[in-house]
Amino acid sequence: MTRCFNPGLTIRPIVTLVLLVLNLFVVAPGHSLAATYYIDQDHSQASDSNSGTEASPWLTISKAASTMVAGDTAIIKGSARAYNVGQSTNYEVPAVNPKNSGTAGNPITFRGQAQGANSVVIVTANTGFSGGNQNAAIGANSRSYITWDNITVRMLGVQMKGIAIFYSDHITVSNCTVEGQDITNEPVLPHNHDNHDGIRIEGSNAILVTDSVIKDVIVKPDWDNSTGIKMYAVTNVTIEQNLIFNNSAGIFDKDSGSSGTVIRRNLVHDNMWNLFTLQKPWQSPQVYENIFVNGNYVAYDTDAYSGSEQFYNNVIYFSQAHSDAAFVPRGGASPTTNLQFWNNIIYDGGRQIAHRCSPACVQINYHNYNGYYPKLDITVNEYGSNPKSYTTISAWRSAGWDLNGWMQDPKFVDPGKLDFHLLSDSPARGSGRNGEDIGAYPRADATVIGPRTLNTGPPAPPTGLVVR
- List the chain domain ranges: 211-435
Segment 331-349 shows an average pLDDT of: 81
Whether residue 285 has pLDDT greater than 90: no
Q: Which amino acid is at 259?
A: S
Residues 360-379 as b/e (b if ≥16 CB within 10 A, e otherwise) read bbbebeebbbbbbbeebbbb
CA dihedral angle for residue 199, residue 276, residue 242, residue 220, rounded to 10 degrees? 50
In angstroms, the CA 215 to CA 181 distance is 8
Q: Distance (Å, rounded) from C-alpha 146 to C-alpha 189?
A: 34
Considering only 39-53, 313-327, 352-366, which range has the smallest mean pLDDT? 352-366
CB 388 within 8 A of CB 380: yes
More confident residue, 297 or 211: 211
For the cut 60, the answer to whether the pLDDT of residue 289 exceeds it is yes
Please report, rounded to a whole number, the percentage of residues in the chain having pLDDT higher than 70.
80
Report which of 439, 376, 370, 434 is spatially closest to residue 401, judged by C-alpha positions. 370
* Planar angle of CA 107, 108, 113, nearest 5 degrees: 115
Q: Mean pLDDT in the chain?
A: 84
Q: Mapping DSSP to helix (H, G, I), strand (E, B) and coil, where does residue 134 land?
A: coil
Q: If we measure between CA atoms, which residue out of 67, 69, 35 comes closest to residue 48? A: 67
The pTM of the full predicted model, rounded to 2 decimals, is 0.88
Q: Which of 342, 344, 347, 349 is nearest to 321 (CA)?
A: 349
Q: How far apart are CA 17 and CA 224, in angstroms?
A: 67
pLDDT value, residue 220:
73
pLDDT per position as a tens digit, 118-155: 999 988 765 454 444 567 899 999 999 999 999 999 98
CA atoms within 13 A on the CB side of 262: 14
Q: In Å, how far from its chain's centre is CA 294?
A: 19
Of 9-18, 285-294, 305-314, 397-406, the one with minimum mean pLDDT is: 9-18
Give the pLDDT band of residue 302 (cuts 50, 70, 90). confident
154-179: pLDDT as tens digits: 987 665 789 999 999 999 999 999 99
Phi, psi of 416 (to 5 degrees): -60, -25
- Cα separation values, 244 from 178, 275, 292, 454, Å: 10, 9, 10, 13
Q: 74-121: per-residue pLDDT in tens?
A: 999 999 999 999 877 788 999 999 999 999 999 999 999 999 999 999
pLDDT at 287 over 80: yes
Q: Where are the alpha helices (DSSP H) in 68-176?
A: none
Report which of 134, 125, 187, 137 is spatially closest to residue 158, judged by C-alpha positions: 134
pLDDT at position 358 over 80: no
- pLDDT mean over 355-366: 79
pLDDT exceeds cutoff 80 at 222:
no
Spell out the long-range contacts of 384-388 with Cβ–Cβ below 8 A and sequence spacing 24 or more. Answer: 384/357
d(CA 369, CA 433): 6
What pLDDT does residue 108 have? Answer: 98
